[in-house]
Structure 1
């Protein structure tokens, strides 16, 4: 691209970002307007009428409407799903429901959906695209190798549709009717995204991406875990993919007729030169940098790498030669929250600037002495920790998200937040509490031990095992060789050292019960066979989750999944340290 065209693109991007600039400058007024609009629409719903008597007043709302969790609003949601009028919760039509992934519990939750939700989602995605274009040149005319998947929507007893957030967007008119050569210029045809079989879809995504390798300027998936799975899938299937490219014929096991027809058109005729090139790269001993070797024009990777996704960063760095990892936004089935206005920052430094126009946000101060303090979006304080409360247009009021965020700064007049952890994710076998944040830091320290070896930690989960006395923490690890596709050779001494490092990373409360009182037993790592965590994912997908939104639970609660893990254990090792934590 010429310098002059780069300047024109930047001018256009700045113009398109003006809406975001304006709302971030006027956050207080916009938040007040959003709440006023929500209350005007919904004050006479059955839910709000019991608190507000039809009055749409901010102070009365804050005084009378209680903070709620999902269990509090679940009966109302189920009544609407079963066929009662949507004015139980919302003054406007509820068009369907969004189903959460269900990986934090045993079953996905349903959240009411209206037309405004998808409109806001589109606004957030476009804003992220313009921010990327502002910071990275030379990507306007390229394509994304995007690992998008959908699952056929289901219906409630009343006939209202429900599906995941990603499926809802990808099947919406906003996506289906998108103009060509815009933010959604993808290597895969839509028929691959809509293929109901995840394995066929993954194979075809990769095949289309390989055939158009020179056009790929970014590789993307909603979560980093999906990208890691895609690379491992490529590692296990590259010979067959090369055979398809060499012959110009798609494998017979791709049965979906619509998907097969669209991919065959992209595959075209035989391409011996491309097949040889890909075979040469994939046949090397190490797959270090495989993304940039196969897709040499890739400028960055787009995927959420904050929260529990952070532990995939070293693996993606290995496969991509440390390409920039852009974590674009923070969103959920309840609402959109914010965007990353500094897309090229390091994953550890990612903060999200909240969008004050999508929902009304309040913040519950996370205080060790249980001081109850709730503030508006613009009144949060730098460095403090908060749990967001969401009031949206579709029927959630002062809903406790359970996420813990830290205020890291302000963009114009709008605060920026770093995702810290989920309140509900924790281990405990006695009176201690080990949080998600502590667990992830422990995993980072363990990865440093593995760095000099041939092993990579691909996936993990953990449980508090109280089946014996004293109880102890058990971590299930799936490891992979950096140079081989077979199960890696395991070094017990190295694994014991990992055990020690994980345990030393835990806090003083843990160690008081571990070393002084003997109320907690030695920490254990159980290494499982390769592919075990794919089997765990299959369990959750069978319950309604999609591969796009699936996140391996950090603390495993599913008995069915634990049974699969136990059947796959290769090695068990225990910590042999009696030293206090690394923080002491």
Structure 2
């Protein structure tokens, strides 16, 4: 597969034409909102309040009265007065009622689906996705997102796209409403004219075993001319790349014979469907063998020389993974930030081909609290047009899916402006939440996991603390046991029990551990009175006062990490 001898996607002209038409229409709407984001955000808030005013939640929070506001400022003030900040635990009982079939609770009717993600308690969050939100935000934004690829790389759809998504349908709520991955549903529901761009069929994402899933995705994709990779987590790129070199000979054999490795853990019915896609391809197998002979460590730039676009998260903790594949792709490809969004809210898109997300005030209503005001008893909630370049803020969203002044628990930095709309980059999670690669592990979950490990192992801890080791994509656990005779072997078993408990408490952590994006934690035993020693050293160094000394038990902080590492029991 030589450079510039492209195996073009069928219907490439149709794809480019249709995406261009749909994408330009959506870009025009962004540009209209960008002329006056103050006007756009007020219009959006009014529309959401009108939409939900007849619901139980809307009546309880006086949405109809708020809508009587004559000015934008009065509208914002009345909304803040009548609608408090609501995190997921505040709305969980209302979501449960929707799940059991009730309508018109948080929003009109019932949701199209639920997206499941980790919560700060042991229960996962079920994020409702209404038809209005899916049709007016996800569908339209996806068309614009794909059009941005064309804007920067006109030949990007000349090859196939490796798109890593979740399982579209994972199960059903009590009333029969589906729950699963929004990315999986979005991929499933894309227009027929663009479906040929995908390198692998949707059935691949039904494979439960992660090793088998990665293998199958890459066995299919390495056979083809791939020009785009779309995946949120850059850690996935590392795993895919490692997978190729670990199983290279198996790939080549499968491609040559038109088979799928019999040793993979794939359900028989699913295997039968997947094997129907394969045909012997000895020419590609021979080409890959020659590449491997030339390059002992074979990289994407070798087997996909026409590669155009890689899009993953690049901001916050994910930067560390970029170092692991920065030399892996062709130099002229575009590496674009995935954009700032989550299961709760797809906030906007990167339009400049770099790292800055343009917020979409015509699709969501945003509020912000400045970083320096987060600890205030009465923080000032700012409107989108009040943000300043270079400053950091916490984000709160109101959406068409029943989230009202919902804290995203994210710290973002304003990098500039798209006309009047601020552009942002994700900085980090806040409020005791750590996320190296999307696991969103909370301090509360870590504390509960340690308690569970104590019950399971019958060992008692005097003190404990955990740190994210981003460089190695794992967590370091430090335990001071009440029994000073505990061995390192017992410490390791205790750490394993904490790890298993975290998998139960946090579905995102379990997924990242099972897919090897977060490695097995490493456990250390601390010397006696470790917290007291740490506290004394901090106070002596002027890093705290005795009466106000606080310590988070789960952190990403290299300096504190090193201090506790020096207190390991000798």
The two structures share one fold, judged by TM-score above 0.5: yes
Whether contact under 8 Å (1:82, 1:158) holds in the other structure is yes
Specify the SS of the correspondent of 2:54: coil
Does 1:99 find its partner at 2:121?
no
The equivalent residue for 2:456 is none
The equivalent residue for 1:65 is 83
Measured at CA, do residues 544 and 409 of structure 1 come closer, stay the same or move farther in structure 2, by a change above 3 Å?
Answer: closer
Query: Shift in Å at residue 261 of structure 1?
Result: 5.2
How many angstroms apart in 2 are the aligned matches of 1:551 and 1:31? 39
How many angstroms apart in 2 are the aligned matches of 1:400 and 1:544? 19
Query: Shift in Å at residue 475 of structure 1?
Result: 5.4
Does 1:367 find its partner at 2:372?
yes
Whether contact under 8 Å (1:351, 1:419) holds in the other structure is no
Measured at CA, do residues 257 and 25 of structure 1 come closer, stay the same or move farther in structure 2, by a change above 3 Å?
Answer: farther
1:383 corresponds, among 373, 390, 395, to 390
Does 1:320 find its partner at 2:309?
no
How many angstroms apart in 1 are the aligned matches of 2:20 and 2:202? 31
The equivalent residue for 2:286 is 276
Query: Shift in Å at residue 114 of structure 1?
Result: 0.5
Measured at CA, do residues 362 and 92 of structure 1 come closer, stay the same or move farther in structure 2, by a change above 3 Å?
Answer: farther
How many angstroms apart in 1 are the aligned matches of 2:259 and 2:505? 30
Specify the SS of the correspondent of 2:259: coil
Does 1:406 find its partner at 2:418?
no
1:186 corresponds, among 177, 182, 198, to 198
Measured at CA, do residues 335 and 195 of structure 1 come closer, stay the same or move farther in structure 2, by a change above 3 Å?
Answer: same
The equivalent residue for 1:203 is 215
Once the two structures are superposed, residues 48-73 of structure 1 have per-residue CA deviations (whole angstroms, 9 ceiling, x without a partner) of 32231742422422222111211211
Query: Shift in Å at residue 100 of structure 1?
Result: 1.4
Specify the SS of the correspondent of 1:401: strand
Whether contact under 8 Å (2:94, 2:106) holds in the other structure is yes
Measured at CA, do residues 144 and 548 of structure 1 come closer, stay the same or move farther in structure 2, by a change above 3 Å?
Answer: farther
Measured at CA, do residues 17 and 38 of structure 1 come closer, stay the same or move farther in structure 2, by a change above 3 Å?
Answer: closer
Whether contact under 8 Å (1:335, 1:392) holds in the other structure is yes
How many angstroms apart in 2 are the aligned matches of 1:415 and 1:552? 36
Query: Shift in Å at residue 189 of structure 1?
Result: 2.2
Q: Where do 1:124-273 residues align within 5 Å?
A: 124-150=141-167, 152-171=169-188, 174-175=189-190, 177-180=191-194, 185-212=197-224, 215-253=225-263, 255-256=266-267, 259-260=270-271, 263-264=274-275, 266-271=277-282, 273=283
TM-score under structure 2 normalisation? 0.71
How many angstroms apart in 1 are the aligned matches of 2:513 and 2:186? 12
Measured at CA, do residues 477 and 41 of structure 1 come closer, stay the same or move farther in structure 2, by a change above 3 Å?
Answer: closer
Measured at CA, do residues 41 and 146 of structure 1 come closer, stay the same or move farther in structure 2, by a change above 3 Å?
Answer: closer
Structure 1 residue runs without a partner (length 5+):
427-435, 441-459, 481-498, 500-527, 555-560
Measured at CA, do residues 551 and 36 of structure 1 come closer, stay the same or move farther in structure 2, by a change above 3 Å?
Answer: farther
Query: Shift in Å at residue 422 of structure 1?
Result: 1.0
Whether contact under 8 Å (1:98, 1:333) holds in the other structure is yes
Structure 2 residue runs without a partner (length 5+):
6-12, 68-74, 452-459, 477-491, 528-536, 542-557, 561-570
Once the two structures are superposed, residues 75-109 of structure 1 have per-residue CA deviations (whole angstroms, 9 ceiling, x without a partner) of 221222233x232211243233221145x664421
Measured at CA, do residues 211 and 261 of structure 1 come closer, stay the same or move farther in structure 2, by a change above 3 Å?
Answer: farther
Whether contact under 8 Å (2:149, 2:309) holds in the other structure is no
Once the two structures are superposed, residues 346-402 of structure 1 have per-residue CA deviations (whole angstroms, 9 ceiling, x without a partner) of xxxx22100112221111222256261112222222222221111112211111111
Q: Where do 1:509-524 residues align within 5 Å?
A: none
Whether contact under 8 Å (1:34, 1:357) holds in the other structure is yes
2:309 corresponds, among 300, 312, 320, to 300
Specify the SS of the correspondent of 1:158: coil
Measured at CA, do residues 329 and 89 of structure 1 come closer, stay the same or move farther in structure 2, by a change above 3 Å?
Answer: same
Measured at CA, do residues 408 and 168 of structure 1 come closer, stay the same or move farther in structure 2, by a change above 3 Å?
Answer: same
1:22 corresponds, among 32, 37, 40, to 32
How many angstroms apart in 1 are the aligned matches of 2:166 and 2:505? 12
Measured at CA, do residues 301 and 359 of structure 1 come closer, stay the same or move farther in structure 2, by a change above 3 Å?
Answer: same
Whether contact under 8 Å (1:461, 1:475) holds in the other structure is no
Equivalent residues, number:
478
Whether contact under 8 Å (1:101, 1:549) holds in the other structure is no
